[in-house]
Amino acid sequence: MNTATAARAAASGDRASETLALTRACTALWVATLSLMTAFMQTAAPAHRYLIARKIAKNLHLLREQEQVFTAECRMIFANLAQRWSARADQLAPGDRPRSGMGLTRGPILKMQ
């Protein structure tokens, strides 16, 4: 076997290894997303449901982007699910509360006299 053939074989093996690793990672992400869906259904707190729904939508969006792993039909389903979960999260979004931090707002501090 000459060096060019060996190099092509090694590159092909590396691509197969990377594809397998990506497939496993996507499978794990899908299983984690299903677990989050279960947690969403079992959680009553609106703030927690909002955060879980946001994470589910992000996971589904990431899965939709994986052209090497999923078929076009499967990616379309992920896109539709991501849109639905994003809309659900928007329904649960807190109205006038800050989206990050400890709930503190910037502004003048009232002095006690």
CA distance 30 to 62: 10
The phi-psi region of residue 23 (left if phi > 0; otherwise alpha if psi is between -120 and 50; otherwise beta) is alpha
pLDDT digits (tens, 9 = 90+) for 60-92: 999 999 999 999 999 999 999 999 999 999 999
SS3 content of the chain, % helix, strand, coil (to 5): 70, 0, 30
Provide the token pair at 22: 């990506």
Q: Establish if 105 belongs to a structural domain.
A: no
Share of the chain above pLDDT 70, in %: 73
Number of domains in the chain: 1
pLDDT digits (tens, 9 = 90+) for 8-29: 655 667 888 999 999 999 999 9
pTM, entire model: 0.72
Q: Establish if 66 belongs to a structural domain.
A: yes
Q: What is the span of the domain harbouring residue 65?
A: 11-92
Q: Establish if 109 belongs to a structural domain.
A: no
Q: Establish if 104 belongs to a structural domain.
A: no
Q: Establish if 108 belongs to a structural domain.
A: no
Q: Establish if 97 belongs to a structural domain.
A: no
Q: Establish if 16 belongs to a structural domain.
A: yes
Please say whether the beta carbons of 85 and 56 come within 8 A: yes
Q: Establish if 99 belongs to a structural domain.
A: no
CA distance 47 to 92: 7
CA 98 vs CA 93, 94, 101, 105, 107: distances in Å: 10, 8, 7, 8, 13
Helix, coil or strand: residue 65: coil
